[in-house]
Amino acid sequence: MAKQNTVFKDAFNRCLGLLENSDSLASEPELGNQLGVSRTTVRAILTRLEEIGLIEWSKRRKAVLRKPSAADYFPTEETDSLSEIIERSFMRRILAGGAEPGMQINELELAREIGTGTTSVREFLIRFSRFGLIEKRPNSHWVLKGFTPEFALELTEVREMFELRSAAAFAHLPNDHPAWAELDAIAALHREILADVDNRYREFSELDEKFHLLVHQASRNRFIVDFYDIIAIVFHYHYQWNKTNARQRNARAMEEHLAYIEALQSRDPAKIEGACRRHLKSARETLLQSIN
C-alpha cells in the first residue's frame, strides 16, 4: 500500500452525516468545501454512495434514495490518519509503559510494532522532537529524555512567560474583535458544565485547550501560539493517563478559569495578572503531582 485512503473514508463518513438531514446533495465543489477535501475525493465518495444504493447520481442530480444505516459507515479504526495512529501509539508507550529516561528509541522496531513503514515513523519522530521529550543522535538512535519533573518545570516556566504576556495583550484587543465573543461563549460553557459537574466534568479537557489557545492567540506571535501545541499535547495525554481526583481538579480549574475570564473582561492589567498567575500556579502543581 502506498497510501491509506483515510481521507476518503473519513470524508465519506462525514458525508453520510450531511445526507441524514437532506434529500439531495450540493454540487461537487460545494461538497468539497463542506467536507474539506478536493473534488477528486468528493467524486470518489459520490461513486461509492451510488454503488451502495444511497443516492442516484447523474451529473448535477444527487438524489438521496434512503437514509444511511450504521453498516454504511466505515469503522472508526479505518478513518484515523497514519500520523494520528503513530502519535497515540508512541504516547502510550512513553507515558504509560515503563519508559525510562535515557532509553533508546528504535525506528524499525517502532514501525514493526505499529505495523507501518519506517518513513512515517521517522517523520513522526522529527516532528515530535520539537516537544523536547526525545533527542536524535545523528546516524544513530533517538534517545528518550522522558516525561520527568524537569521537563514539566521547563515547560511550565515558558508557558507562564507566554501566557502572562498573551493575557496582558488580550486586554488591548479592540472591542469588536471576535475573541471577545468567543470568550463569552467559553465562559457560558464553563457555567453550563459547572452546573452539572458530576456528569460533565470530562468535557473540561477540550474546553481547557480552547480557552488557553484563545488567550495565546491574542499575542499575535506565531512562536507563542505554536508553543501552545506542546502544552496542549502534554495536558491532553496527561488527562487521559491520570484520572485521580479528576472531577475535583477539573471543577477547581473551571472556577479559576471563570475568575481569569472575568479579569480579562475587566481589562484591568493588575487583576488579569493576578488571576492568570493563580491559575497557572495551580495548573503547574497539578501537573507536577501527577508525575511523581
Partner DNA sequence: ATTCTGTCTTTTATCTACAATAGACAGATT
Partner DNA sequence: AATCTGTCTATTGTAGATAAAAGACAGAAT
Residue 127 sits in the site that holds a copy of itself (CB under 8 A): yes
Residue 173 sits in the site that holds a copy of itself (CB under 8 A): no
Calpha distance 56→87 (Å, rounded): 39
Q: Helix 107-114 and helix 82-91: axis angle, to 10°?
A: 110
* From candidates 154, 192, 206, 262, binder to a copy of itself by CB under 8 A: 154
Please say whether the beta carbons of 111 and 122 come within 8 A.
Answer: no
Q: x/- site string to a copy of itself, residues 12 to 41, per CB under 8 A?
A: ------------------------------
Residue 165 sits in the site that holds a copy of itself (CB under 8 A): yes
Report the chain's terminal Cα–Cα distance, integer Å: 43
- How many other C-beta atoms can be found within 10 angstroms of the C-beta atom of residue 9? 19
Q: x/- site string to a copy of itself, residues 97 to 126, per CB under 8 A?
A: ----------------------x--xx--x
To the nearest whole angstrom, how small is the minimum distance from the Cβ of residue 31 to DNA? Answer: 8
Q: x/- site string to a copy of itself, residues 208 to 237, per CB under 8 A?
A: ------------xxxxx-xx--x-------
Calpha distance 28→14 (Å, rounded): 15
Closer by beta carbon to a copy of itself, 143 or else 246: 143
Closer by beta carbon to DNA, 10 or else 163: 10
State which amino acid sits at residue 287: L
Instruction: Read off the DSSP letter of residue 247.
Output: H
Q: Helix 82-91 and helix 118-128: axis angle, to 10°?
A: 60
Quick one: what does residue 157 bind among DNA, a copy of itself, none, with the CB cut-off 5 to 8 Å set by partner type? a copy of itself
Residue 137 sits in the site that holds a copy of itself (CB under 8 A): no
Closer by beta carbon to a copy of itself, 130 or else 191: 130
Closer by beta carbon to a copy of itself, 66 or else 127: 127
Closer by beta carbon to a copy of itself, 60 or else 222: 222
Helix (H) or strand (E) holding 63: strand 61-64
Q: Using CB under 7 A as the criterion, which residues of the chain lie in contact with DNA when the complex forms?
A: 1-8, 26-30, 37-41, 43-44, 59-60, 62, 81-83, 105-109, 116-120, 122-123, 136-142
- How many other C-beta atoms can be found within 10 angstroms of the C-beta atom of residue 143? 15
Calpha distance 106→142 (Å, rounded): 7
Residue 181 sits in the site that holds a copy of itself (CB under 8 A): no
Calpha distance 60→28 (Å, rounded): 8
To the nearest whole angstrom, how small is the minimum distance from the Cβ of residue 90 to DNA? Answer: 14
- How many other C-beta atoms can be found within 10 angstroms of the C-beta atom of residue 3? 7
